[in-house]
Structure 1
Amino acid sequence: MSAPLRLGTRRSALALAQSQQLADALTRTSGREVLLVPIVSEGDVNRASLSQLGGRGVFANGLREALAAGECDLLVHSLKDLPTAQPDGLVIAATPAREDARDVVITRDGTPLSELPQGSVVGTGSPRRIAQVLRRNHRVQVRDLRGNVDSRLSRVRDGDLDAVVLAAAGLSRLGGDLGGLVAEPLGLDEWPTAPGQGSLAVETRTDAASDLLEALGRLDDLPTRIEITAERAVLATLDAGCHAPVGAHASLSDGDLRIRALVYALDGAHRIGMDRTVRLEPGYARTAGSGDGAIAADGADPIARAARTGEDVAHRLLERGAADLVPRESTP
């Protein structure tokens, strides 16, 4: 009988929940037991603001070190927390089907963000969300916020904050119980979220056993892979960290790939946007276990096409002045 697979994960309730969901799916595709290996990341112990931590992979570096050292066999990340540069020796072997990519505003009584009165306090630690909140309602105050989902919801419930902004996917993976609070979903056209939001990334070593790579490949969702490739190409070409004030969302529908990207000034006063749709070649197919992409039967590569489209969107944003708004990537 094969030894259990060791899945490295952060220790937060959300990380453990999404890792267990992935572990159960991997057991089904591989026939092997999967054990969770909790690992502490820099982001879990460093309580500095996300704007100060920047794009240095603070939620991923410790996990990746453990993977490279052989302390676990694979990792599960929230893709939005990963820097765009892929470390040597590691590969994102699967991106399962993405959940809801939207942000939601959580309040006590359901008052929309745009209608919160003067002096209302909204909690978020994300520079992108800060800029979007201030652009949606300049009357509110934004308070820097770290902590797990339950603690953030409690601060609204207890009246310390009037609202918080959270990822819909994270709430769903934790069961969606708001304890009497009310969620306002925010449309992706005017409120694009972090590149990769709602998607998980399953990472392993490039020299992992072929049966593990094949089992992970069966968990890979091609439409999700195409969408997140385009989004992360925008971020990489802008040379911006994963916590920069950049929103990018790509959607694939009937072969059309649409990318909507916005770059914000930190105070929300200005933004530069780009919206582009391209046609992908029909009939593409992925070889099971290929992990990193897809090659169409007629030779076209939708992953490469998505990357080029994201890069083009970013170049056009830069031509329009985005470089003056975006802090540069701080990943070594």
Structure 2
Amino acid sequence: MAQCAALAKRFAGEVELVPITTKGDTDRSSLSQLGGTGVFVSALRDALLDGTVDVAVHSLKDLPTGEAEGIELAAVAKREDSRDALVARDGLRFAELPEGARVGTGSPRRAAQLRVARPDLEIVDIRGNVPTRIARALGDAETGEGADLDAVVLALAGLNRLGLERHATDLLDLIDFPTAPGQGALAVEIRAGDAAARKAVAKADHASTRAAADAERRVLAGLEAGCAAPLAAHAEVADGMLFLTATAYATDGSKRLSASHAYTLDGTSAAELAEAAADVAERAVAELMEAGAAELIADAR
């Protein structure tokens, strides 16, 4: 809510924050069983369409890639640090985790990456909100309940938004641990055609973040993968270029396929950024498909 409040300060006019609980917040089934797609956004979209709210704010990585009837993506807020963070007992860094350490994550992508990097680890599927997950590794001071894991892996942006970044004991680099499409960015949706709402949130839109996230999400769509797929995609605009790297994994960590592409920009207009995002994503998807990424993703379902 703190991050939403900070974002709301950029909106034009008076803002009332309306907390909404989604299925993804309450269902403790694994993300692969839930299916991932839409479980964190459906309730907010329903509230938007029925007029309960005029603007809905989501973690962009939770947003399905398909169009939603009657809804418009009006802004993509500037991305925070998109890396994943390790929260471990005794302040341990990733390389310091002992052989056989139990590491919790609810993400098939993170599970695959952990198995690639450290086949000796025991990966434990977990669910729950961020404080609950942290308590699995550090224990719960309020209840006195002890930890049952050695570490958990969470998005650093989520820790930052909740003021819990102090618990991170290591930050995982983007080379070995590229993140989920859209991770670290916020999506701002409105009812389609609502000009007043579009104008109110316009200043929250960050062009280069939108372009990077668009490229990442196009990979997700092109491979017909949901947000529960063992797929990573990270793009950024830097030095006059848009760079994209996408990686698909076998869930057991036995195989990974990567593709990296870049587009040289002549300027920073919305049209050119959109063209760049489409170009690099199309090339990455083609390369991954030719290498067999579709089979890896299908095997994970």
| Fold equivalence (TM over 0.5) | yes
What is the TM-score normalised by the length of structure 1? 0.84
Shift of 1:100: 0.3
Matched, 1:214 2:195: no
The answer to whether the Cα contact below 8 Å between 2:85 and 2:168 also exists between their aligned partners in 1 is: no
- For residues 83-162 of structure 1, the aligned pairs below 5 Å read 83-158=64-139, 159-162=147-150
- How far apart are the structure 1 equivalents of 2:248 and 2:152? 21
Give secondary structure in 1 for the equivalent of 2:33: helix
Q: Which residue of 1 aligns with 2:281?
A: 310
Match of 2:219 among 225, 229, 234: 234
- How far apart are the structure 2 equivalents of 1:241 and 1:256? 27
- How far apart are the structure 2 equivalents of 1:222 and 1:261? 21
CA deviations over 1:135-178 (Å, ceiling 9, x no partner) = 11111111111111111112211231101101111111122453
The answer to whether the Cα contact below 8 Å between 2:92 and 2:169 also exists between their aligned partners in 1 is: no
Letter of the 2:224 partner, please give it.
D
Give secondary structure in 1 for the equivalent of 2:253: coil
Shift of 1:217: 1.5
- How far apart are the structure 1 equivalents of 2:168 and 2:210? 32
- How far apart are the structure 2 equivalents of 1:87 and 1:37? 21
The answer to whether the Cα contact below 8 Å between 1:124 and 1:145 also exists between their aligned partners in 2 is: yes
Give secondary structure in 1 for the equivalent of 2:178: coil
Give secondary structure in 2 for the equivalent of 1:88: coil
Letter of the 1:18 partner, please give it.
Q
Shift of 1:328: 8.6
Q: Which residue of 1 aligns with 2:175?
A: 189
Q: Which residue of 1 aligns with 2:27?
A: 46
Match of 2:62 among 68, 71, 81: 81
Q: Whose helix fraction is larger, Structure 1's or Structure 2's? A: 2
- How far apart are the structure 2 equivalents of 1:111 and 1:45? 30
Match of 2:254 among 269, 279, 291: 269
Give secondary structure in 2 for the equivalent of 1:36: coil
What is the TM-score normalised by the length of structure 2? 0.93
User: Which shows bigger deviation, 80-89 or 101-110?
Assistant: 101-110
User: Which shows bigger deviation, 47-56 or 66-75?
Assistant: 47-56
Q: Which residue of 2 aligns with 1:203?
A: 189
Q: Which residue of 1 aligns with 2:209?
A: 224
- How far apart are the structure 1 equivalents of 2:258 and 2:217? 16
Shift of 1:44: 2.1
Match of 1:260 among 235, 245, 261: 245
Letter of the 1:304 partner, please give it.
E
Matched, 1:168 2:149: no
Give secondary structure in 2 for the equivalent of 1:37: coil
Matched, 1:326 2:297: yes
* Structure 1 residue ranges without an equivalent (≥5): 1-15, 286-293, 296-300
The structure 1 segments of at least 4 consecutive aligned residues displaced by more than 3 Å after TM superposition are 327-330
CA deviations over 1:185-234 (Å, ceiling 9, x no partner) = 111122110000000000001121x2321221221100101100110011
- How far apart are the structure 1 equivalents of 2:127 and 2:223? 26
Give aligned pairs, total.
294
Shift of 1:17: 2.5
The answer to whether the Cα contact below 8 Å between 1:261 and 1:275 also exists between their aligned partners in 2 is: yes
* Structure 2 residue ranges without an equivalent (≥5): 140-146
Using the aligned pairs only, state the percent identity.
47
Letter of the 1:164 partner, please give it.
V
- How far apart are the structure 2 equivalents of 1:317 and 1:326? 11
The answer to whether the Cα contact below 8 Å between 1:105 and 1:164 also exists between their aligned partners in 2 is: yes
Shift of 1:68: 0.9
Letter of the 2:293 partner, please give it.
A
Give secondary structure in 2 for the equivalent of 1:247: strand
